[in-house]
Structure 1
Amino acid sequence: MSMTLKENALAIYNGQQPDFYGDLMNAVELIGDPILMGDMPPQDGLEHADSWGTVYVYKPGAPGPHPHVTPENAVIKDIENWESQLRVPSLDQYDWSMARAQAAAVDRNEKFVGFFCAGGLFERSHHLMGMENALVNYMEYPEEMAALLRVIADYKIKLIRLAAEQFHPDIIFYHDDWGSKQNVFLPPSVWRKIIKPLQKEIADTIHECGMIYMHHADCICEPIVTDMVEIGVDIWQGVIAQNDIVKIQRVTDGKLAMVGGIDGPKVDIANIAEEAIRSEVRRAIDTYCPGGRFYPSIPNGICFLEWNNSIVMDELTAYGRRYALEHPI
């Protein structure tokens, strides 16, 4: 009898024999909560402020909205006076009935119910003041940034508990990009001092509520992966191939399940040969699946070029099943 998507994902998560190796996200049904949906701007290319006051622009055809923070519209213009400039939105006025209905419609034997918890500590901080100012402030005003992040963390913890009460997700899909394709954004010592303790509180909250903590960061996180384990990250989703994934599997001693490994930008280009795309998918599976607890996928989810994406998915489906059959645990 073949496994359900959830059973197959759990087999990989638990280091057991799966039917196939593939993207964990196929087994997750993300629920549209009222906070996220209320903050989503229309795809009209115009400026719209979210509940925190951050201005976003969602251009037609773009994969998602992006913050458009300027010196004029930044919520926090002076980090030394951030308390007088920031208004933390209330979480008490939202109607969760649609989210509850969506979650109730999911067959939890077939799929996980996921809560997309966007705008983590680092991302929210630079969305409030702009990336350049945030990076400078982390270095020159660490106490003020730590106090600001304390407030943001309290909001996130309350939101996670609220989601747990309303529809009890199986997985919290927490989003916070901590780096670029080249390196982490902050010196690890700064990240460890300011972000790590608060992130552990968030992880502890997720686990206290009986949920899995899956952290999305499609970037370099290699310098802080052992810290991610210490925090309590269960799954790192978005692992780009620019990380030394085999080394990470070794230094984390199999304690960090990972999703990604296929170099999306390498294959999401025009005029690429079909075999080059299939070869990259096989490379990822052959290289990272032997380390265990690995879900091969495109870190950001899909190729944006439709034909390229269809080849990736076809090869992932076929070779991911073949690999599982030929390499039993």
Structure 2
Amino acid sequence: MTRREIVERAITFKNPPRIPMKFDVVGVNDCYDVWTRDPTGWTWEFEGQAIDEWGCVWQRTGVRNTGQVVGHPLRDVECLKNYRWPDPDAPARYRDLAGQLAGATDRFVMFCFGHGIFERLHMLCGMTETMLGFYDHPEQIHQIIECILDHHLRVFRRCAQIADGRMHAAAMADDWGMQDKAFISVSLFREFFRPRYQRWFDEIKAAGMHPWMHSCGRINEILEELIDCGLEVVNCQQPNVVGIEEISRRYRGRICFETIVDTQSTLVRGTFDEIRVEARRLVEAWSTPEGGFIASDYNDAEAIGSTAERRRIMFEAFAETGKYPGYADILARTVDAPAGHSYSRQAIEEPSD
């Protein structure tokens, strides 16, 4: 069975032989990301300040991260009438997509939009102005959201055409949660966002792909809406914020979880044993015997104050619980066992289809 088929079975609850893994720290990844380019040349590796194709001004901060948007071209909604939207058909956007696709081998290919609807909205307008705009300028906010969605859909259609069946999911990032609740009420979500997500997810599915979303924070109520819209995979990196037991009770078996030991707490400050316990508990609580679980990594350990060794311990626990074949040998090849720790030598054979 190919890696693509294993991921596909996990998403569709069709009895994968093991839990799919996304762990670059040990060179194991059943998925393969492809991206388009910003036609202006903006990249995540910018120095100091940089402007992306949307006119958003990015700035590096005093801590390790991807930067912060400090300049918002639509902070004043009066600027909307003269705003120049990015060109979804710009040839530079797709220049190396075919080359990226050629490197996928047997993996599950994810087309990554990057920022979704909500994140691009508040990057354009500013967070405060976005929140006020839902009440003070709803027509303009609706217009901006529609234009963002139209851009994303046109980019998606072009990528799907180039891929010609070689992309299997379309992934986006919209961080909907704070520490204790979502940024907006469910009623506002239904008014401004639910119809747009419905259209987006419907189009992704019509192309034979799976809608996939990263969303941080306590998204417990919003997740119900997203599932109803057709979201099939949610990437959740803060399981202790949403509550492992609550999410299990409400959503287990209804959506596939791509998840990780909590990046705000356990993966940063927990003992090795606490990391193991949480990884195993996540598999028990959020997966089903039929699937619905993908174990994931956090690639920039330094940004969250964690270490590569903690990520390897997490991989070991997920792999052991999720029946990943030969995981001990993988660990032995990538790192020497730390003092006081001996990786299990058990090797589980990959089931044949």
Which residue of structure 2 aligns with residue 265 of structure 1?
A: 264
What corresponds to 2:76 in structure 1? 78
Q: Is the contact between residue 253 and residue 287 of structure 2 (CA under 8 Å) also seen in structure 1?
A: no
Instruction: Give yes or no for the alignment of 1:315 onto 2:312.
Output: no
User: Is 1:92 matched with 2:89?
Assistant: yes
Which of 42, 45, 49 is the matching residue for 2:45?
42
SS for the counterpart of 1:53 is coil
> Which has the larger displacement, 159-168 or 260-269?
260-269
Distance 1:20 1:8 in 2: 7
Partner of residue 53 from structure 2, selected from 51, 55, 58: 51
Assess if the C-alpha contact under 8 Å between 2:32 and 2:110 holds in 1.
yes
DSSP-derived class of the 1:114 partner: strand
**Is the 1:9–1:27 contact (alpha carbons within 8 Å) kept by the matching residues of 2?**
yes
Query: Do the aligned residues in 2 keep the contact of 1:8 with 1:19 (CA within 8 Å)?
Result: yes
TM-aligned CA distance change 1:290 to 1:254, over 3 Å: closer
Q: How does 1:199-238 map to 2 (within 5 A)?
A: 199-238=197-236
- Look up the SS of the partner of 2:104 in the other structure: coil
CA distance in 2, matches of 1:312, 1:7: 24
TM-score by length of 2: 0.79
Displacement after TM superposition at 1:48 (Å):
0.5
1-structure distance, mates of 2:266, 2:231:
29
Quick check: 2:22–2:297 contact (8 Å CA) kept in 1? Answer: no
Range with greater deviation from structure 2 (249-258 or 236-245): 249-258
**Aligned pairs for 1:103-142 within 5 A:** 103-107=101-105, 110-142=106-138
The 1:296–1:164 alpha-carbon spacing in structure 2 relative to 1, beyond 3 Å, is closer
For residues 67 and 297 of structure 1, the distance between their equivalents in structure 2, rounded to whole angstroms, comes to 30
Query: How far apart in 1 are the matches of 2:54 and 2:247?
Result: 36
What one-letter code is carried by the residue in structure 1 that aligns with 2:261?
A: I
2 CA distance for matches of 1:303 and 1:115? 24
Are 1:9 and 2:12 matched, yes or no? Answer: no
User: Does the CA-based 8 Å contact 2:39-2:90 persist in structure 1?
Assistant: no
The total of aligned residue pairs comes to 313
Residue 289 to residue 297, structure 1, CA distance change in 2 (3 Å): same
CA distance in structure 2 between the aligned counterparts of 1:212 and 1:174, rounded to whole angstroms: 11
Distance in 2, matches of 1:98 and 1:156, equals 18
User: Is this contact kept in 1: 2:232–2:256, CA < 8 A?
Assistant: yes
RMSD: 2.8
**Structure 2 CA distance for partners of 1:97 and 1:130, relative to 1, 3 Å:** closer
Residue of structure 2 aligned with 1:143, choices 136, 139, 145? 139
1:59 Cα offset (Å): 5.7
Offset, 1:292: 5.3
Percent identity (aligned):
19
Q: Is the 8 A contact 1:238 1:299 kept in 2?
A: no
CA contact (8 A) 1:302 1:309 kept: no
For residue 67 of structure 1, give the secondary structure of its aligned residue in structure 2.
strand
Q: 1:273-284 maps to which residues of 2 (within 5 A)?
A: 273-284=271-282
Distance 2:285 2:300 in 1: 20
Tell which deviates more after alignment, 199-208 or 90-99.
Answer: 90-99
Distance 1:37 1:173, change over 3 A: farther
C-alpha distance in 1 between matches for 2:249 and 2:286: 11
The AA in structure 1 aligned to 2:84 is: R
Runs (5+) with no aligned partner, structure 2: 24-28, 325-347, 349-353
Please say if residues 180 and 218 of structure 2, whose CA atoms lie closer than 8 Å, have aligned partners that are also in contact. yes
Residues 277-299 of structure 1: CA deviation (Å, up to 9, x unaligned): 21221221222224754325357
| Residue 174 of structure 2 is aligned to residue 176 of structure 1 | yes
- State the partner residue of 2:157: 161
Residue deviations 1:57-84 (CA, integer Å, cap 9, x gap): 2469834233223xxxx201322x1422
| Structure 1 residues 255 and 201, CA gap change in structure 2 (3 angstroms) | same
Long gaps (5+) in structure 1: none
TM-score, normalization by structure 1: 0.84
Q: Is the 8 A contact 2:34 2:109 kept in 1?
A: yes
Question: Which residue in the other structure is 1:27 paired with?
Answer: 30
Structure 1: distance between partners of 2:6 and 2:44: 36
Residue 119 of structure 1: how far off its partner (Å): 1.7
Give the corresponding residue for 1:287. Answer: 285
1:69-110 residue CA offsets vs partner (Å, 9 max, x unmatched): 3xxxx201322x142242201122223241112202322xx2
Aligned partner of 1:297 in structure 2 is 295
